[in-house]
Amino acid sequence: MEIPADERSGTEPPRVHYIDQGGQGTSAGDKSDAPSQTILCVHGNPTWSFYYRSIARQFQNKVRVIAVDNIGCGLSDKPANYDYCLKNHTANLIYLIDQLDLKNVLMVVHDWGGAIGLGAAVARPERIAKLLILNTAAFVPPYIPLRIAACRIPVIGSLAIRYANAFAWTATWMAIDRLKKLPQATKSGLLHPYGTPADRIAIDRFVQDIPMHKEHRTWEVLDQLERDLSKLAGKPTTMVWGMKDWCFRPECLERLSKHLPQAKIQKLEDVGHYVMEEAPQEVGLAIKELLETKA
């Protein structure tokens, strides 16, 4: 799918890639009269739609499963001159939701996908029925982990991310706790779209888009998103949280739960940031329960 280009840029519109598997909105049960449902998965940094492969495998015979690659990530275009920022990533997801005319959506979000996906959800609350939230934030970050701050050092940080692959590669072992290490096939899959410095442009720009002061353009976007979360407060919601995540720590879970008090919370005490890699069974059970829950 092509995302509309900024007319001022004079460039071709970038293409966004997404997987679209399973029934075209079939119901959760084989003989159910319930309204059709779609699972929409939104990834963060530095993952891509591959991160949600277990959800596609488990549910594609029951409902429609869509997993999007944000511009610059996965198999989507990675233009050098694109304006990579939260506002644009969110607008792209809203465009995809509208173009595919998605309704009765169970949205799954993780990492930056939380801000992107929840931003789209508050913009299109009538289309989003349920939420499954994995380690993420939807507000101005209350802290910046040192490991992330180091990647923001001018020039040095970008060189490390893009030329030494110091973000995507290190995440394959720094983002887990339950597992001693990721299987080689999994590690290769996560890194596959990010083989060259040019391929890692969005990884770098996501890091640079973390606001550390009010003058940063994404500060207000996140601040407004937090104020808008009340629009989602009535929707069936489950939060599955890796408690050993050093990036999105338990205080992020606590802050989100205050805005979404209806959420069922499942704490995974031995799981790190890559929840889908370490706890696909627990996430699958949470999705199954949400699909069977009346919105």
Confidence at residue 33, expressed as pLDDT on a 0 to 100 scale: 46
Confidence at residue 31, expressed as pLDDT on a 0 to 100 scale: 44
Place of tokens 């979360």: 229
Cα(121)–Cα(105) distance, integer angstroms: 10
Q: Which two tokens stand for residue 261?
A: 């008090």
Confidence at residue 174, expressed as pLDDT on a 0 to 100 scale: 97
Cα(77)–Cα(100) distance, integer angstroms: 19
Cα(42)–Cα(55) distance, integer angstroms: 12
What fold does the segment set 18-291 form as a domain? Answer: Rossmann fold (3.40.50)
DSSP state string for 78-97? --TT---SHHHHHHHHHHHH
Kindly give the pairing relationship between strand 18-21 and strand 264-268.
unpaired
| Total residue count of the chain as it appears in this document | 295
Confidence at residue 9, expressed as pLDDT on a 0 to 100 scale: 46
Q: Which two tokens stand for residue 106?
A: 């169970």
**Domain boundaries of the chain, sorted by first residue:** 18-291
Confidence at residue 35, expressed as pLDDT on a 0 to 100 scale: 57
Q: Which two tokens stand for residue 286?
A: 């949470």
Confidence at residue 12, expressed as pLDDT on a 0 to 100 scale: 76
Confidence at residue 1, expressed as pLDDT on a 0 to 100 scale: 80
Confidence at residue 101, expressed as pLDDT on a 0 to 100 scale: 96
Q: Maximum Cα–Cα distance for the chain, whole Å?
A: 58
Q: How many helices and strands (H and E) does the chain possess? A: 12, 7
pTM above 0.85, yes or no: yes
> Rounded to whole angstroms, what are the CA distances from 18 to 41, 157, 196?
10, 29, 21
Confidence at residue 32, expressed as pLDDT on a 0 to 100 scale: 47
Confidence at residue 23, expressed as pLDDT on a 0 to 100 scale: 74
The amino acid occupying position 77 is D
The amino acid occupying position 255 is R
- Kindly give, in sequence order, each residue whose CB lies less than 8 Å from that of residue 188, ignoring residues fewer than 6 positions away: none
Q: Are the CB atoms for 229 and 118 separated by under 8 Å?
A: yes
Per-position pLDDT tens, the chain of length 295: 877 755 444 467 899 999 999 875 444 444 444 559 999 999 999 999 999 999 999 999 999 999 999 999 999 999 999 999 999 999 999 999 999 999 999 999 999 999 999 999 999 999 999 999 999 999 999 999 999 999 999 999 999 999 999 999 999 999 999 999 999 999 999 999 999 999 999 999 999 999 999 999 999 999 999 999 999 999 999 999 999 999 999 999 999 999 999 999 999 999 999 999 999 999 999 999 999 998 7
Cα(74)–Cα(52) distance, integer angstroms: 12
18-21 β-sheet, strand order: 18-21, 64-68, 38-42, 105-111, 128-136, 237-242, 264-268
How many CB atoms sit inside 10 A of residue 151's CB? 23
